Structure 1
Amino acid sequence: MSVHQENSAPASSRGTPDPHAESSRKSRLIGVDLARGLAVLGMFIAHIGPLRFDPHAGGAAGVLATLGEGHASILFATLAGVSLALLTGGSVPHAGPDLRSDRVRIAVRAVLLFVLGMALTQLGTPMMVILSFYGLYFLLALPVLRLRPVALAVIAAAWAIASPLISFVVRMPLNTKIIGGTISFGDLTTLPEAGSAALRLVLTGAYPVLTWMPFVLAGLAIGRLDLRSTVVRTRMLGTGVGLAVLGYGGSWLALHVFGGLRALEPTLARLRPLAAKMGSSPLELVQESNFGVVPANNLANLLLSAPHSGTPFEIVGSAGCAIAVLALCLFVGQRLRGVLAPLAAVGALALTAYTLQGVAMKFVLTDAAVPHFGEHPWLPLTGFALVTLVCCWSWRELFGRGPLEWILHGASVGGSRVLVRSRS
């Protein structure tokens, strides 16, 4: 989400031209907004795509689901790291008082995002809200803001390999039956509920901090590079493709060549009757049954690379896809700036778009309405996407920063001024 307005400002100040703001908008990395806009639309596909209303839609619906499921949220997390880097100086990271101010701004935003995420979940919107997890990602990134790109990349790589193994080992004795989910204000009413919520945030939830921080760290490393350099963008694209091949290709080899399927046989055997009824394979059911982490009942589960499986293969492969998408968006951003302005506007207003999507889903996807969407499964996705593109583009042209982005920016800047000044 566009929780950081890197190098951005409104195009005007309520009718009074602001040359500094206009210059800032021109210097903004449009490619980052484009990538974030794609992530928003990917979230729409995951939440209200045609397969949700007609599981047998197939064709284009299946392709879109493959592109959106899991990848959109991981692209968001990676871009969160990029935005953290851009907010704190980009390729020349801030130091001294500026860095202290940046850390306070990020911490304030983290708290606000955490609360907003709980509020959306409390509303009962039919999606797994990522915002509370986002807040924790930002807080955990504060100590490493000054590290160089190579150091950040090494930490991200080591974390990507080690954290799924640690998660698996820690969850084994817990015998956790339910995985996935987020948190709401209702989870803070009792101490046991709060403990369960903390466990979801860190270990068993839809976007657990333990296995999702590599995306943020990788994004932070990328944001410390010169993203306006063609050489850097080319290397990013090559690295992204290489990681995607390594992750997904490595999982395929582990399963189909090195005996992973044999190790999964106890699980596959239990699923064969259900798979036969559904007209799919047992492996497909296994790949589709993850909600943030794999069950800690068979070590071979860590060989999967399915969306939301939280395995080393998925983390590496999905991070590679996110890096490649960002590189492509950076390449086309300036060349097709005018044509892609609506999509870039969605990226610039991503927090607002994501939040309003959640609110709208609550009131549009009612029990009475959902059966009708089965007859027109493309209608919700098409409607949400078109309305979002038009509204975000119009708002961006008229007012610049989005409403929730404006609140987040004002609160964090104000909090920074007060807290940093009080320490000076």
Structure 2
Amino acid sequence: MGPRYPLSDRLVVPDVLRGFAIFAMLVAHAAPLVPNRPGAVEFLRSSLNDVASPLFALVMGISAAIVIGRTPAAARTVKGTWIYLAQNTARGLILVLLGVWLATWGSWIAIVLAPLGFTLIVGAPIALLRSRWVAAIALVLAVVSAPIVSATTAAVAPWLYFSDPLTKLLIESFLTNPHYRVLNLLPFFLAGVVLLRHGFTRDRVLPIMLAIGVVAYAMRPILMRYGGDFDYFSGSYPDTLHDVGLVAAVYVAVVFLVSLTRNPLAAVVSAVFVPFRIIGTLALSIYVLQVAVVAWMAHPYPPEFGLVNYPLLALAIVVGVPAVGALWWYFLGDGPVERIMGFVTGRKTILGKRRVPTAA
């Protein structure tokens, strides 16, 4: 008996990138269970933690561009545009509501689904514009984001705690979330749109992306050493450049390895990528499952939490959660969250049968 939905029916690069983003989240979220770790392990954990959310936003942009590109020209009408926007708005709202719900489970995970959901809602209509406008908007947002985040956080901090839940959710998701905000995630989403249209697997794009990644990644340590009183916070220019460097590195590595079709390493790369592709097909379901597992582990905290390593519990998150997801995919196909989202947006039945070909 084989899997219901073979991986051959899906695009490799988006699934691998999405799967790597989820894997990075799993490693980062398991880290509190191993507080005593060597410096090299901490560097790896920190890098995976930093790359996860912006990489996920990039793949969301790639997926949006795929949907637009696969729509027949005759169907690109006002009605078709409204359907596209309605579907992405529904998907974004599901992410927001899911994020709000998961935040009540009592895990130590910083849930970023609400900012990602709002990023999809705002980014979907921008993705319909010409690439030059999409790129220009992404660049402008990247430039203005740091001062806006800094000024807004300082201005609203005194009263945001006492505001109503909806206002707090909107302001935090867009501007003041201490981890990631729409204002910082949206440029990555829009970059994914442009990359799908004009780059993706083209050889000439990879050297440019690699150069951008190296320069961007090097800027934070340079600024920290020679930048004097430069302001550092989540969403600052050094932080954003650091994220750009990490995302570019992962993107270049994945696209380059996927392109090795005639290289002796092609079979090895293909086999290594299979777990990431499987994780990528059930990304949201695996995300929810790991929050449930972490919430279960967190109640109650053991007295030694934060002082003693629990490697087996950490492995249960990093290896056990995706293993459960892989078994689900093999025997049942799409994950439960993906089925619900597909049903709400009209792309699949509640049992997982596709009404239209998958977009990502």
Task: Determine whether 1:319 maps to 2:249.
Answer: no
User: Which whole-Å CA distance do the structure 2 matches of 1:193 and 1:218 have between them?
Assistant: 31
Aligned equivalent of 2:256 = 331
8 Å Cα contact 1:248-1:314 kept in structure 2: no
TM superposition shift of 1:106: 0.8
CA contact under 8 A between 1:78 and 1:219: conserved in structure 2?
Answer: yes
Q: Secondary structure at the residue paired with 2:244?
A: helix
Give 1:180-329 correspondences, 5 Å limit: 192-205=164-177, 206-225=179-198, 227=200, 229-231=201-203, 235=205, 237-257=206-226, 260-261=227-228, 263=229, 300-301=230-231, 304=232, 309-329=234-254
1:342 is matched with: 275
Q: Do the aligned partners of 2:139 and 2:187 also contact (CA within 8 Å) in 1?
A: yes
Distance in 2 (alpha carbons) for counterparts of 1:255 and 1:178: 32
In the TM superposition, what is the alpha-carbon distance from 1:131 to its structure 2 partner? 1.1
Given the alignment of the two structures, is residue 144 of structure 1 paired with residue 69 of structure 2, yes or no?
no
Mapped to 2, the partners of 1:372 and 1:196 lie a distance apart of: 31
Residue 54 of structure 1 and its aligned partner are, at CA, apart by 4.7
Say yes or no: does 1:79 pair with 2:59.
yes
CA drift of 1:91 comes to: 10
Q: Is the 8 A contact 2:127 2:190 kept in 1?
A: no
Select 2:95's aligned residue among 98, 106, 113. Answer: 113
Using the size of structure 1 for normalisation, the TM-score is: 0.71
- The corresponding residue for 1:26 is 8
Q: Which stretch shows the higher mean deviation, 200-209 or 96-105?
A: 96-105
1:70 match: 50
Give the SS at the match of 2:209.
Answer: helix
C-alpha distance 310-370 of structure 1, shift in aligned 2 (>3 A): farther
Q: Deviations over 1:168-227 (max 9, x none)?
A: 2333444x2799xxxxxxx9xx96343333221221113222232111111222222363
Name whichever of 34-43 and 364-373 sits farther off.
Answer: 364-373
* Structure 1 residues 343 and 101: CA distance shift in structure 2, 3 A: same
The answer to whether 1:406 aligns with 2:339 is: yes
Cα distance per residue 1:274-307 (max 9 Å; x no partner): xxxxxxxxxxxxxxxxxxxxxxxxxx21xx4xxx
Return the alpha-carbon distance in structure 2 between the equivalents of residues 138 and 103 of structure 1: 10
3-state SS of the aligned residue for 2:218?
Answer: helix
* Conservation of the 8 A alpha-carbon contact between 1:45 and 1:64: no
**Alpha-carbon distance in structure 2 between the residues aligned to 1:402 and 1:83:** 18
AA partner of residue 329 (structure 2): R
What's 1:276 paired with?
none
Note if 1:356 corresponds to 2:289. yes
Tell me the distance in 1 between the aligned counterparts of 2:219 and 2:236. 12
Matched residues in 2 for 1:372 and 1:247: separation? Answer: 36
Selected match of 1:382 from 312, 315, 333: 315
1:138, distance to aligned residue in structure 2 (A): 1.1
- Quote the Cα distance in structure 2 between the aligned partners of 1:177 and 1:242: 42
Which AA in structure 1 matches 2:281?
A
The percentage of counterpart residues that share the same residue type is 23
Offset from partner CA, 1:294-325 (integer Å, 9 cap, x none): xxxxxx21xx4xxx720123223312321331
Q: Is the 8 A contact 1:244 1:321 kept in 2?
A: yes
Structure 1, unmatched stretches of 5+, are 1-9, 13-20, 180-186, 264-299, 416-424
Q: Which has the larger Rg? A: 1
Q: Residues of 2 paired with 1:161 and 1:90: CA distance?
A: 32
3-state SS of paired residue (1:123): coil
Deviation, 1:136, is 0.7
* Distance in 2 separating the partners of 1:53 and 1:109: 32
Question: What is the TM-score of this pair, normalised by structure 2?
Answer: 0.82
- Is the contact between residue 117 and residue 130 of structure 1 (CA under 8 Å) also seen in structure 2? yes
- Paired residues, number: 336
CA deviation after TM superposition for structure 1 residue 41, in Å: 1.6
Determine the structure 2 residue equivalent to 1:95. Answer: 76
Contact 1:40 1:346 in 2 (8 A): yes
Aligned-pair CA distance for 1:74: 1.6
Instruction: Return closer, same or farther for 1:170/1:339 CA change in 2, 3 Å cut-off.
Output: closer
Amino acid at match of 1:46: A
Task: Check 1:254–1:126 CA distance in 2 against 1; reply closer, same or farther (3 A cut).
Answer: closer
- C-alpha deviations, 1:353-409, integer Å up to 9, x for none? 001100111112333447278543432332222223322222223232222111111
Q: 1 CA distance for matches of 2:91 and 2:337?
A: 11
Q: How far apart, in 1, do the equivalents of 2:212 and 2:303 lie?
A: 39
Counterpart of 2:42 in structure 1: which amino acid?
G
Alignment pair present for 1:42 and 2:14: no
Structure-2 change in CA distance of 1:362 and 1:35 (3 Å): same
Partners of 1:249 and 1:338 lie apart in 2 by: 32
Find the counterpart in structure 2 of residue 366 from structure 1: 299
Letter in 2 for 1:80: M
The amino acid of 2:291's aligned partner reads G
What's the offset of the Cα at 1:129? 0.8
Q: Is the 8 A contact 1:244 1:318 kept in 2?
A: no
The code of the aligned residue for 1:221 comes to: V
- Specify the SS of the correspondent of 2:198: coil
The 1:219–1:370 alpha-carbon spacing in structure 2 relative to 1, beyond 3 Å, is farther
Amino acid across the alignment from 2:63: S
2:108 alignment partner, SS class:
coil
User: Which amino acid in 1 is paired with 2:300?
Assistant: D
Q: Which amino acid aligns with 1:224?
A: R
Structure 2 gap ranges (5+):
349-360
Distance 1:373 1:309 in 2: 24
